[in-house]
């Protein structure tokens, strides 16, 4: 009944406004304004006199001395902008949406050209490349993120269409990058590191069920999946670098959002006579209504909300301050009856409070460089109690508070067309207070682990310094060399991490890239704090090797092929569970780290694979991304046996794309296939005897889940009014209702193996009203 009610409302609204279009009832073309800034990507200095052209129109402009341009009276719709400036590589930006009576702000950064004569021909590029990351990087614009099917406005779920990401479970957005684990990823927003960008964050990891970042704040995203530069440390697998846009400096704007998960709004406007701007977002969930309305495979209805803001002020033409705040609170309290209905092994209460607040100072140095210096405070507070469903025994009491004070400085300097450098430091002060209780429990192999109480306070520092040198000895060849040094006071670990990347343009359209480097990461404080001897553990280490080829089939279509090898060392192992890989416990157990006694650091792992990606930007009315990968991911246990890791899909195929027949309609889809990952079957006799799930220790990860595949479709309809705009979207996840298995579990009531499925067919809709 509620489903019918929802659709009646949706159809009623559409029937009222169906006549809205690019032309008003009086025959006047609805228009908006394009405004933006063009700057040098290396120095952030404005480029006065840049030609800005609206492709396939007669409209354009030139930037003023501050690099600002404005193009008025542009008919509403979707456009591509072309930027050209003498001595710089031209570029094109797609998916620029002009809205009725609103200002669309576009920021473009052009690369200084080292062209000499006619050695190489450069056309306006649709694909941006970060010069300090020639391999294993991909960029997404705001509009590419917003419209992605199957993402629900979650930036991490959008990334899941890439060949580097293993497919685990629809109900989590954990990023498994090139055989790694969710523990190994870092997130940055405006030069400020945020440990976890998800609601209901997994402690000690970077994953969660749904993203916290409002995608309407995002200007663009760079995602690095291997061989990343020395600017980033303390992570083994990937970096997601997000840039938030500024608020509107010219006028007040607002937006109201209503979607399947909740409701919220955005407001923004100018500050101090247009010397700055402010941007604020508030969102709350109503998943309890969704759970009642649709069969989503669960009756658990968590509640969550987030608050995000950004304030920018130009204290001087060459100095800008940005204040950033991201806050989230999450609550879940399924009772025993709900747990039994949903085949949950544990139930209980969760109250989580996470936030990061920080300030970044951007300073331009004459015309040769710039610096970003940020200071930030992060707090993650966990108040959790979990009970065993069958016995109601109190399994875990988690009262953790983890705080980070972070100072980060990154400097960019271009000596000339051939030589440039980046250097800086980051320093963190870590404070952790644990008041946790772990009841006696049966571990994964059936052994009894005694009860444990963790009352520990940690006060430690991390300090890192880095330098990254970029050499362009000739027009076709580039060398990137980096070096990091890191120190962790808790265990006095000191690490040196060299990095190297090479790039060579074989032809105007073909480039060969290679990179290698050493990467270190300290273990989660929750693991280190459980035993004093754990503080003597070495930091896990990874060595990356990447070789790739990029080829432009057309100016808007690029083919990329990469092969990689990652060798891990010094991973923690639990001697009492010699055949298991501890860092993967988050996935094969209950979603949190259990208590472990003394750990050892002899764990090894390895992953290797090949990835193919074909990406087409929206040059006309079609866009898409097709990718395939084949990889193997293994670990070496304490007994010296190499075993498959739990994220080893082996083969992944993804097809994603869309069609825009006009400025009002858009249709898109995403289909993903992934090989079934390995799992360990139950020891049935022992599980029945103990009335607990007990894994078969002789068959660790020797069986595989059925293959995964799912199709998501979506359509968007834009409506343009005299002074407002509306976007309505409707999406269906898992269109053909594939019964993809999330996991097997031991049904302690029926004393048998049972199954938990991933998302069933799920319709999703939403409105975005801009005023």
Structure tokens at 695: 């894994």
* DSSP letter string, 496-550: EEEEEEEEEESSSSEEEEEEEEEEE-PPPHHHHTT-GGGGGPPPPEEEEEEEEEE
Contacts of 517 (CB under 8 A, 6+ apart): 227, 228, 230, 482, 497, 498, 499, 500, 543, 544
- For 679-695, write each residue's pLDDT tens digit: 999 999 999 999 888 99
Residue 755 main-chain phi, psi, to 5 deg: -130, 145
Cα–Cα distance measured from residue 504 to residue 516, given in angstroms and rounded to the nearest whole number: 15
* Angular region, 640: left φ>0, alpha ψ -120 to 50, beta rest: left
pLDDT of residue 11: 46
- For 390-406, write each residue's pLDDT tens digit: 888 898 999 999 999 99
Q: Which helix (H) or strand (E) holds 401?
A: strand 394-414
- For 257-302, write each residue's pLDDT tens digit: 998 778 999 999 999 989 999 999 999 998 776 666 665 556 778 8
Cα–Cα distance measured from residue 211 to residue 755, given in angstroms and rounded to the nearest whole number: 26
For the chain, what is the largest distance between any 2 Cα atoms, rounded to a whole number of angstroms? 80
Structure tokens at 327: 């806050």
pLDDT of residue 8: 39
pLDDT of residue 123: 54
Which of 605 and 15 is assigned the larger pLDDT?
605
Give 543's pLDDT tier (boundaries 50, 70, 90): very high
pTM metric for this prediction: 0.92
- Among the residue ranges 156-170, 315-329, 499-513, the one predicted with the least confidence is 156-170
CA quadruple 337, 338, 344, 347: dihedral, nearest 10: -80
Structure tokens at 652: 């992944």
Q: Which helix (H) or strand (E) holds 454?
A: strand 452-474
Q: Which helix (H) or strand (E) holds 4?
A: helix 2-17
Whether residue 21 is predicted with pLDDT greater than 80 in this model: the reply is no
- For 203-248, write each residue's pLDDT tens digit: 988 888 889 999 999 998 999 999 999 999 999 999 999 999 999 9
Structural contact between residues 730 and 697, judged by C-beta atoms closer than 8 angstroms: no
Residue 191, SS3 per DSSP = coil
Residue 593, SS3 per DSSP = coil
Q: If you ran DSSP here, which 8-state letter would residue 425 be given?
A: E
Cα–Cα distance measured from residue 250 to residue 478, given in angstroms and rounded to the nearest whole number: 41
Beta bridge partners of 47: none
Share of the chain above pLDDT 90, in %: 70
Residue 290, SS3 per DSSP = helix
Q: Roughly how many angstroms between the first and final C-alpha of the chain, as a whole number?
A: 32
pLDDT of residue 117: 45
**203, HSE (Cβ side, Cα atoms, 13 Å):** 26
The whole-chain average pLDDT of the chain stands at: 90
Output 471-476 pairs: Cβ under 8 A, ≥24 positions apart: 471/418, 471/419, 472/114, 472/417, 472/418, 472/419, 473/418, 475/114, 475/115, 475/116, 475/119, 475/120, 475/505, 476/119, 476/120, 476/504, 476/505, 476/506
Output 152-155 pairs: Cβ under 8 A, ≥24 positions apart: 152/210, 152/259, 152/260, 152/261, 152/764, 153/211, 153/214, 153/215, 153/259, 154/210, 154/211, 154/215, 155/197, 155/211, 155/213, 155/215, 155/218, 155/221, 155/240, 155/242
């Amino acid at each position: 009944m509620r489903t019918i009610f929802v659709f009646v409302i949706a159809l009623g609204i559409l029937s009222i406004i169906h006549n809205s279009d690019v032309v008003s009832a009086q025959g006047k073309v609805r228009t908006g304004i394009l405004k933006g800034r063009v700057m040098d990507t290396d120095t952030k200095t404005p480029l006065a006199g840049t030609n800005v052209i609206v492709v396939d129109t007669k409209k354009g402009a030139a930037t003023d001395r501050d690099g600002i341009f404005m193009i008025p009276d542009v008919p509403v719709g979707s456009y591509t902008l072309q930027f050209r400036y003498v001595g710089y590589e031209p570029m094109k930006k797609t998916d620029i949406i002009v809205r009725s009576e609103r200002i669309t702000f576009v920021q473009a950064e052009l690369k200084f050209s080292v062209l000499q004569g006619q050695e190489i021909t450069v056309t306006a590029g649709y694909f941006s490349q970060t010069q300090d990351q020639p391999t294993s990087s991909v960029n997404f614009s705001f509009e590419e993120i917003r419209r992605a099917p199957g993402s629900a406005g979650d930036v991490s779920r959008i990334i899941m269409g890439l060949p580097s990401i293993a497919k685990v479970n629809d109900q989590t957005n954990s990023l498994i990058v090139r055989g790694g684990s969710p523990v190994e990823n870092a997130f940055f927003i405006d030069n400020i590191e945020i440990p976890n960008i998800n609601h209901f964050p997994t402690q000690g990891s970077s994953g969660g069920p749904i993203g916290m970042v409002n995608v309407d704040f995002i200007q663009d995203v760079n995602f690095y999946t291997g061989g990343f530069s020395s600017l980033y440390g303390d992570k083994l697998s990937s970096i997601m670098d997000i840039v938030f846009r500024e608020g509107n400096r010219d006028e007040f704007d607002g937006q109201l959002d209503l979607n399947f998960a909740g409701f919220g709004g955005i407001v923004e406007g100018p500050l101090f006579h247009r010397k700055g701007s402010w941007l604020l977002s508030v969102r709350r969930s109503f998943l309890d209504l969704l759970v009642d309305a649709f069969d989503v495979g669960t009756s658990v209805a968590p509640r969550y909300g987030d608050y995000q803001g950004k304030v920018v002020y130009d204290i001087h033409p060459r100095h800008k301050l940005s204040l950033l705040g991201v806050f989230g609170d999450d609550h879940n309290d399924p009772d025993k009856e709900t747990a039994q209905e949903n085949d949950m092994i544990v139930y209980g209460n969760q109250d989580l409070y996470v936030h990061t607040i920080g300030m970044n100072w951007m300073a331009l140095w004459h015309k040769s460089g710039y610096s970003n210096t940020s200071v930030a405070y992060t707090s993650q507070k966990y108040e959790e109690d979990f009970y065993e469903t069958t016995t109601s025994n109190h399994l875990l009491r988690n009262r953790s508070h983890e705080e980070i004070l972070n100072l980060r400085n990154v400097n960019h300097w271009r000596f000339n067309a051939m030589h440039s450098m980046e250097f800086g430091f980051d320093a963190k002060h870590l404070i952790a207070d644990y008041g946790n209780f772990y009841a006696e429990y049966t571990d994964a192999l059936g052994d009894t682990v005694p009860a444990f109480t963790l009352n520990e306070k940690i006060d430690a520092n991390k300090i890192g310094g880095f330098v990254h040198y970029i050499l362009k000895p000739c027009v076709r060849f580039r060398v990137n060399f980096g070096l990091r040094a890191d120190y962790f006071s808790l265990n006095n670990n000191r690490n040196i991490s060299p990095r190297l990347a090479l790039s060579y343009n074989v032809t105007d359209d073909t480039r060969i890239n290679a990179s290698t480097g050493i990467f270190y990461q300290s273990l989660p404080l929750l693991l280190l704090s459980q035993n004093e001897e754990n503080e003597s553990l070495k930091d896990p280490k990874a060595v990356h090797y990447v070789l790739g080829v990029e080829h432009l089939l057309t100016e808007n279509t690029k083919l990329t092929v990469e092969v990689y090898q990652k060798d891990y060392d010094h991973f923690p192992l639990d001697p009492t569970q010699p055949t298991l890989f501890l860092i993967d416990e988050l996935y094969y157990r209950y979603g949190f780290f259990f208590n472990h006694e003394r750990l050892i650091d002899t764990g090894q792992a390895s992953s290797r694979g090949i990835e193919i990606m074909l990406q087409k930007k929206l040059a006309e009315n079609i866009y898409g991304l097709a990718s395939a990968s084949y990889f193997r991911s293994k670990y070496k246990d304490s007994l010296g046996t190499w075993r498959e890791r739990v994220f080893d899909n082996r083969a992944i195929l993804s097809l994603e794309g869309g069609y825009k027949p006009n400025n009002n309609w858009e249709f898109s889809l995403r289909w993903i296939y992934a090989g079934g990952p390995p799992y360990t079957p139950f020891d049935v006799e022992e599980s029945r005897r103990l009335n607990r799930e007990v894994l078969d220790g002789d068959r660790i990860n020797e069986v595989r889940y059925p293959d995964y595949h799912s199709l998501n479709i979506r359509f968007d309809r834009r409506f343009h009014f005299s002074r407002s705009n509306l976007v309505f979207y409707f999406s269906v996840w898992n269109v053909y209702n594939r019964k993809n298995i999330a996991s097997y579990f031991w049904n302690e009531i029926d004393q048998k193996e049972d199954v938990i499925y991933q998302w069933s067919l799920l319709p999703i809709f939403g409105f975005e009203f801009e005023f």
